[in-house]
Structure 1
């Protein structure tokens, strides 16, 4: 374990990024990443697994996300840097842990960008059914790559307005749904749908637990608030505010929205996965133009999430480069403070998504989700482990004065760690997610081997030179 100046050295090597994100933009960035395809498209698959019991699945996912954000907020207030939980793992768990977390998370979000852009191609078929999906992938990808390449301020502005559109639309959807369900204008709408189609748990508790995997995928990207703290104007204020605002909005938006969807459209109709359950609702309601409007909002949501994910993967690769774990070129900054080489490399998920879309147009979304989720589950699990080590480390040294502390330590942290481990193991027994471990375990083993063979010897040599000096 390095001494306290060790983390200052980690933070110092990531200098050069521009601190231009406001606290309002930070909150929107977190929401922008988490309210995307996971809610608008992934929820359909979750409903198919769990039926109305999906509400329990998303509540469990919300609990895990809440615990995760608490752990992250405490560590981020102490160490606001773009390396974020990768840098924390390096310092408090070990260099190998930092290396694995950064690369696994980078790969996960790169592939998650692929799921968003794949979903975008599906949404565009509503208006242009005869246009090939790869055309939309290339068109929208180019626009978002440009917004990320200009400056972090431009990215912040884009994300703020993307998220504002999503939040406004979801609020309107909730109000419309509440009026239809509670207004009594149509007896077909109501909570009787919760038990009318094979009961509240049509696939049992096992179906509810499997749907938690998709719930976690839906909440994925709330952790990017910690990455963005490295470019925030006032990171401590921004992180605390974003933590409170994000969690309240996510719980309300996800669970309340799904509760209304299930009351308006039977779960066995909205859980087919062929289209967003939001579109299914609007088709049933029959309001002129409503289906096209909600499809537009879903499109914006996917673009927003993709925009945020490109930002996050770029900063994580930048952090890897500055740590000596990726080519130096990835750590170079443009005049506006953007790591353009890291951005270019982080677009590989878009290229992969294009190929998968061409090869498996019908199964591309679920396949990309199954592959991408491994690194995210691993990173979340490691965040809990890192927080445990973080708190123990500072407790042994008399504590650390922080304006934000995670409650319930160590039990809350260990609960999050156990749940994430259980979810990761569960993917091995679910056919739809079998590719998660098939891809993830060899990938992680290959990373560990590469570290031991190539990077560990260099670190020993560098440590020896420092001692000799």
Structure 2
């Protein structure tokens, strides 16, 4: 087996800094904040704000580890390529295929959700039609050029961000000046008058950490985009530094406003807090506005998923851990074959989603839960090994070093293990701990059964300025 080989990726660097900024920002703001935040609030009450702060700190450590690697090695395969080089071909193989599968099943759910959201306006239209249309359109966008993907992702993310900003501003005016409440300031008493700031105790904070961490899922997409970013040594650090604080402000700010306006223990029964807030201000189309926002959020997830799966298959083929068929690019420097195959799986998944029992689909999507923890852990471990391989002179020359190395690495790994343990105590996430090992076992059987352990290569490219 070849120990190492430098190769020249032929992907086009068509993602501008504004694309990278919004890809990272939008990737971590999902439908859950607009529709499902009441569930997380029920678990921890106002203390959920502390959970987001804790989770945000560790996400920051993970992103800085990813940033150090991405600036030093800006390749499309990202975590798979880093795992391959610094942890071995098997780790790269498992990471690449797990991330691919994670996005495939996530997109299946999101595309199906598109049909549900369109049903809000067109109740007589069969749900499979908008779901299929969304899949086709987003696939075509990704096939056209990477800049098309970046442009769509930019505007999808901007819609989500602007909605949150408007909600925070209007909510702040309601809290401070009584806007929409006959001029009577609402204040922040709801944050501490309904059983205190920690109404469910330390248990609520701990149990909410799982939901909090998966709210951040998607932020690592910036690592995949690094391989096609213009001037990654500048755009990646700028995105990571700015996006982390913005996301923390958006989540903590939005949830802080929501729980100030409404008693936390009543939110479960009143629906989407965003719809309620806009409605309270006399915006009659509030439900339609939020439905449009979550529709674009679902399309954004689909867009990102098709982008990620195509690049992951491309990189796996370069490592000889997937058919060489996936290593071919179109005239527009896009991994056409990888995107097309991912489209076929998504198409099958959308069809199956209407026929298989809901429980079966839950089992499949639970792999995405385990996959997220795996990928984050691999990022931290790969950066740890990378740093250990450097001399003191090389460390001094790093353009974007991770913070608090190696304390942040070990603290993050311990935290991720802790989150996995918490998952065992919740019926909704426990299934992931059962299905996850089955998935990894399947990958191992394929790895050795198809002889990939003999042909895999340790390959990574280091881009020059």
| Fold match (TM-score > 0.5) | yes
Q: Deviations over 1:419-450 (max 9, x none)?
A: 11211232222101122122211101221232
Of the candidates 329, 335, 339, which is equivalent to residue 331 of structure 2? 335
* Equivalent pair of 2:167/2:278 in contact (CA under 8 Å): no
In structure 2, C-alpha distance between the alignment counterparts of 1:345 and 1:174, rounded to whole Å: 41
Between the aligned partners of 1:252 and 1:53, the Cα distance in structure 2 is 16
Q: Could you give the per-residue CA deviations for residues 212-252 of structure 1, whole angstroms, max 9, x where no partner exists?
A: 22222221111111111111121111111111121121111
Map Cα deviations across residues 119-143 of structure 1 (whole Å, 9 max, x no partner): 3333334323454433332222222
Matches within 5 A, 1:217-366: 217-271=214-268, 276-347=272-343, 348-349=345-346, 351-357=348-354, 359=356
Report the Cα distance in structure 1 between the residues aligned to 2:68 and 2:120, rounded to whole angstroms.
44
Aligned partner of 1:433 in structure 2 is: 429
Aligned to 1:318, the other structure's residue is in SS state helix
Say whether 1:406 aligns with 2:402: yes
Q: Which moved more, 1:39-48 or 1:104-113?
A: 39-48
Offset at residue 174 of structure 1 (A)? 1.2
For 2:52, the equivalent position in structure 1 comes to 58
Q: Deviations over 1:248-277 (max 9, x none)?
A: 2111111101111112233334346x9543
Normalised TM-score (structure 2): 0.89
Shift of 1:157: 1.5
Alignment counterpart, residue 126 of structure 1, candidates 120, 123, 126: 120
Is the partner of 1:222 in helix, strand or coil?
A: coil
Q: Secondary structure at the match of 1:248?
A: helix
- Name structure 1 gaps, 5 residues minimum: 464-469
Distance 1:115 1:55, change over 3 A: farther
1:206 to 203, 206, 213: 203
Q: Give per-residue Cα distances to partners, 1:174-227, cap 9 Å, x unaligned.
A: 111111112134369442223444443344323322322222222111111111
The corresponding residue for 2:41 is 47
**CA offsets per residue over residues 323-358 of structure 1, 9 Å max, x none?**
111122222211111112211232324642553355
What residue ranges of structure 2 are gaps of 5+ in the alignment? 459-465
Q: Structure 1 426/350 Cα, relative in aligned 2: closer, same or farther at 3 Å? A: farther
Instruction: Report the equivalent of 1:107.
Output: 101
Partner secondary structure for residue 346 of structure 1: helix
SS at match of 2:301: helix
Give the conservation status (yes or no) of the 8 Å contact 1:42–1:214.
Answer: no
**In structure 1, what is the Cα distance between the partners aligned to 2:174 and 2:361?**
31
Shift of 1:2: 8.4
* Aligned-partner Cα distance in 1 for 2:370–2:216: 14
Equivalent residue for 1:451, pick from 440, 447, 456: 447
CA RMSD of aligned residues (A): 2.7
Deviation at residue 410 of structure 1 after TM alignment: 0.7
Which residue of the partner structure matches residue 167 of structure 2? 173
- Does the 8 Å CA contact 1:113/1:350 hold for their aligned counterparts? no
Q: Offset of 1:400 from its aligned partner? A: 6.0
Which one of 116, 121, 124 corresponds to residue 110 of structure 2?
A: 116
Instruction: Give TM-score, length-normalised by structure 1.
Output: 0.88
Quote how far apart the aligned CAs of 1:289 are: 1.9
| 3-state secondary structure, aligned to 1:335 | coil
| Aligned match of 2:462 | none
How many residue pairs align between the two structures? 454
